Structure 1
């Protein structure tokens, strides 16, 4: 199981320093800032990008939603999040994979905490998540059963998701 911890930290730094508008143009601007390649553009839906991370599926996806074309600011805020594979994506989960993912999660959480300070939120393993909420973006590291993701999330969508989760 390969994890690109340093690459994930670099992407989190780019996200921190990026001037987010959460419009569709952010996809292209972020792609250029990260040095990535466009694979497939979806107008409203999923745009696929090839990353430079050293993992077997070096891909990021930008997710958009037509419902948010105009935010309260009156500008296009349809970009919801970027999801970036930061580990190899395995076919099947087993104990060895779970241990490797847990170790990679802990290593990345430690490096990001040194870089960005204490996290704003954490969730327990399994399904671990750690994140930092900033005024113009949210950075999360999330575990799946066969991979780790780094997500950069529109803070408005993040707050809405938290409110929805609190209602459950």
Structure 2
């Protein structure tokens, strides 16, 4: 898998500096400045396909301007809601190893754009999406589409973008698939079974956990238990992933004294808990991050879990994933938020 990092940064900067009027003629002028071929209307009249100069397997973009958009948004006839640009190759398969370069490229593009455009926003939704609202009626949306297995940049009419966010149940139903292949169904929130099979090695478990953290949506929560007892939780914030681990369980702590346990957790980077929840310890990792960072975070967690709650194998860990924090089971979400600062 290859992503055109430099091309992505160049097009984002060009879009930020361009004088947008969001007419069809305006799109044609943007293509000339970008060095792209002129838009070619699609056979359905919903928009136009564009051949870009990005170094990816299918260098394509799509400008949307069909009548449904005008009726939905109230835009004058002839205005363009957005252009979506493919920034990476599409990749086959569905495994953590295959997705590593996709996660890395998404993180690198974000890191490259923050100095130019400032701290972005994160959109709610089931895909990792980052947003910059810029002057001049342009909004940039960087999206990591795991279901389509590629990275895209949406250059959007700010008026349309904001109106869509205000609309109840707004979805990107018209997002153009810049590959001709049929899309698979949207993947599971957290792509694993309720437990890991006993045949999986710990390294495989940490790889799958890292992949799950990389794609966890805003407000996503993963709760973990052993023998029905709460042992840990991952929660997605705005631009960081929280990890909370329980150091309770008395006899499960082995020969360590409470003080030895406390000092060991601090030495390994865990924060001192709130006095109201002395058994809960926490760490965070930035989001988005490179896959190696998610992998190290997952490995540290599993290592800590075995130390605090010895089990025969990670397969003894049960998982529950949700995008509604209020549905987590054995630990009250309000107590966790108050005690840990999530």
C-alpha displacement of 1:65: 2.8
Which residue in 2 is equivalent to 1:87?
A: 88
Count how many residue pairs are aligned between Structure 1 and Structure 2. Answer: 165
* Structure 1 counterpart of 2:122: 122
1:79-138 C-alpha deviation (Å, 9 max, x unpaired): 01111000101233332232221111110000000111111x114897211110124100
Q: Structure 2, unaligned stretches of length 5 or more?
A: 172-342
RCO higher in structure (CA 8 A, sep ≥6): 1
Q: 1:7/1:79 Cα in 2 relative to 1: closer, same or farther (>3 Å)?
A: same
CA spacing shift, 1:20–1:3, aligned 2, 3 Å: same
State the partner residue of 1:147: 150
Residues 124 and 93 (structure 1 numbering): CA distance in 2 closer, same or farther, change over 3 Å? farther
Q: 1:59 to 1:32 in 2, by over 3 A?
A: same
CA RMSD of aligned residues (A): 2.6
Q: Which residue, 43, 50, 68 being the options, matches 2:70? A: 68
Unpaired runs of 5+ residues, structure 1, are: none
Structure 1 segment 1-168 matched on structure 2, within 5 A: 1-38=1-38, 40-42=40-42, 44-66=45-67, 67-68=69-70, 76=77, 78-119=79-120, 121-123=121-123, 127-135=127-135, 136-145=137-146, 146-165=149-168
3-state DSSP of counterpart to 1:38: coil
| Cα distance change on mapping 1:2 and 1:20 into 2, 3 Å | same
Partners of 2:133 and 2:78 lie apart in 1 by 18
- Residue 10 of structure 1: SS of its match in structure 2? helix
Separation in structure 2 between the aligned mates of residue 127 and residue 167 of structure 1, nearest angstrom: 14
Q: Quickly say closer, same or farther: Cα 1:160–1:2, change in 2 above 3 A.
A: same
